[in-house]
Amino acid sequence: MHSFLYRLNALLTFSLIILALICGMASFSDNFNTPSPSVDLKVLNVNWFHKQHGNDEVSLTFSVEADLQSLFTWNTKQIFVFVAAEYETPKNALNQISLWDGIIPSKDSAKFSIQVSNKYRFTDQGSNLRGKPFNLTLHWHVMPKTGKMFADKIVTSSYRLPDEYR
Amino acid sequence: MGFIGDTIDSVKSIQIRQLLSQAVSLGMIVTSALIIWKALMCITGSESPVVVVLSGSMEPGFKRGDILFLHMSNDPIRAGEIVVFNIDGREIPIVHRVIKVHERKDTGEVDVLTKGDNNYGDDRLLYAHGQMWLNRHHIMGRAVGFLPYVGWVTIIMTEKPIIKYVLIGALGLLVITSKD
């Protein structure tokens, strides 16, 4: 009844339950953090804009200025941020195109300001981009050390693409 | 003679009862595990509510051996979400992040492009030949929760089956030898 194996089993079960409880509590504690991130996105330049294989494609240079330090808690492993262009076309109710992304590994690097050209191709399904207004949005995904993942976004500037290819 | 025969009979009957109760308790363990798994399937709406990360394509967020909890709701798929998808002709599902979404106005059908955080390029090379986009039916679920290291148990067991048999044997022995 109280053999060695039996005790080992009880000990293992108990420690696993405690570990699971601690993980659960760590994840739950994230709910008490009320972040106040600030973001500024600006389109600086349209590098080129053309139509290829029937699809419009554009290359942009934009600036990202963000302070995401308040998103970090003790249970945060890293934050994945990306800038997406979002717009509507007659065919599609929503087009979301990630233009740039990055991984913020620590709180110290969560306040940054950069100027980049789009890392992924900004290509439409069709040729609807001339004169098209779109929203630049900063999204973030908080990846925890353990437990629930959080995501949110800030929609910033609306920008209008040029009326002609260049 | 009568006395000895009685004792043998009682011993025999005890053993049979004990054996039966052990069989029942073993069955209870197996069925309760099955019930928990199926209940999770119902709650999350995903055919595999928990997946183990097998590759390093999402590092440093997800490492090999971490486990992810999936949820499949009718909410539309949006950029940035981490989805688990199946490609036709590939057995193992892939866990990557959505970077592009095109959602049709009339049908609501979506075209989705994914990429691993740690990969240089997008996933078109991983898709079936000539496939440009993922659609709704490829996607098994989106990752909502994360637990580190736990998946190593299954990785070790699938790679070294002996450990699995030893473990199952030890557990079975424990159930059979326990007397309450």
**One digit per residue, pLDDT tens: chain A, 166 residues?**
577 877 888 899 999 999 999 999 999 998 888 888 999 998 998 999 988 888 899 999 999 999 999 999 999 999 999 999 999 998 899 999 999 999 999 988 889 999 999 889 899 988 888 888 999 999 999 999 998 998 888 888 788 888 888 7
Q: Which long-range CB contacts under 8 A does A9-13 form with residues at least 24 apart?
A: A9/B174
Q: What is the pLDDT of residue A97?
A: 92
The answer to whether residue A17 sits within a structural domain is yes
Among B13-17, B50-54, B176-180, which is the least confidently predicted range? Answer: B176-180
Residues A11 and A52 in one domain: no
B7 backbone dihedrals φ, ψ, rounded to 5°: -60, -45
Q: Which residue of B has its CA nearest to A97?
A: B100
Asked if pLDDT for residue B59 goes beyond 80, the answer is yes
Chain A interface includes B132 (CB < 8 A) = no
Among B82, B117, B143, the residue with its CB nearest the CB of A103 is B117
Interface of A with B in 102-161 (CB under 8 A): 103, 105, 120, 125, 139, 141, 143-149, 151, 153
Q: What is the pLDDT of residue A116?
A: 92
Higher-confidence residue of B10 and A130: namely A130
Among B111, B146, B179, the residue with its CB nearest the CB of A1 is B179
Asked if pLDDT for residue B116 goes beyond 80, the answer is yes
**Residue A67 belongs to a domain with what CATH number?**
2.60.40
Angle between helices A4-29 and B161-177 (to 10 degrees): 110
Which chain B residues touch A23 with a CB distance below 8 Å?
Answer: 147
Q: What is the pLDDT of residue B14?
A: 66
**Other beta carbons within 10 Å of A70:** 14
Residues A21 and A61 in one domain: no
**What is the C-alpha separation between B175 and A145, in angstroms, rounded?**
35
Q: What is the pLDDT of residue B10?
A: 63
Chain B interface includes A35 (CB < 8 A) = no
Question: What domain range includes position A3?
Answer: 1-32
Query: What is the percentage of chain B residues whose pLDDT exceeds 70?
Result: 91
Residue B123 is a catalytic residue: yes
Residues A82 and A146 in one domain: yes
pLDDT (average), residues B26-36:
91
Residues A99 and A27 in one domain: no
User: Which band of pLDDT confidence, cut at 50, 70 and 90, is reported for residue B179?
Assistant: low
> ipTM for the complex?
0.85
Of B19, B26, B35, residue with least CA distance to B172: B26
User: Which band of pLDDT confidence, cut at 50, 70 and 90, is reported for residue B7?
Assistant: low
How close A55 gets to chain B, by Cα (Å)? 14
Residues A46 and A104 in one domain: yes
Chain A interface includes B175 (CB < 8 A) = no
Overall domain count for chain A: 2
The answer to whether residue A165 sits within a structural domain is no
Domain boundaries, chain B: 50-148, 151-179
Catalytic residue among B46, B66, B96, B138: B96
Which chain A residues touch B174 with a CB distance below 8 Å?
Answer: 5-6, 9
- Rg (C-alpha) for chain A, rounded Å, is 23
| Contact flag B145-A147 (C-beta cutoff 8 Å) | yes
List all residues 6 or more positions away from A86 whose beta carbon is below 8 Å from its beta carbon. Answer: A94, A95, A96, A97, A134, A135, A137, A155
The answer to whether residue A166 sits within a structural domain is no
The answer to whether residue A79 sits within a structural domain is yes
Asked if pLDDT for residue B180 goes beyond 70, the answer is no
Q: What is the pLDDT of residue B178?
A: 63
User: Which band of pLDDT confidence, cut at 50, 70 and 90, is reported for residue B153?
Assistant: confident
Which chain A residues touch B144 with a CB distance below 8 Å?
Answer: 148-149
User: Which band of pLDDT confidence, cut at 50, 70 and 90, is reported for residue B90?
Assistant: confident
pLDDT (average), residues B148-170:
87
Q: Which CATH superfamily is domain B50-148 in?
A: Umud Fragment, subunit A (2.10.109.10)
Residues A18 and A91 in one domain: no
Residues A135 and A56 in one domain: yes
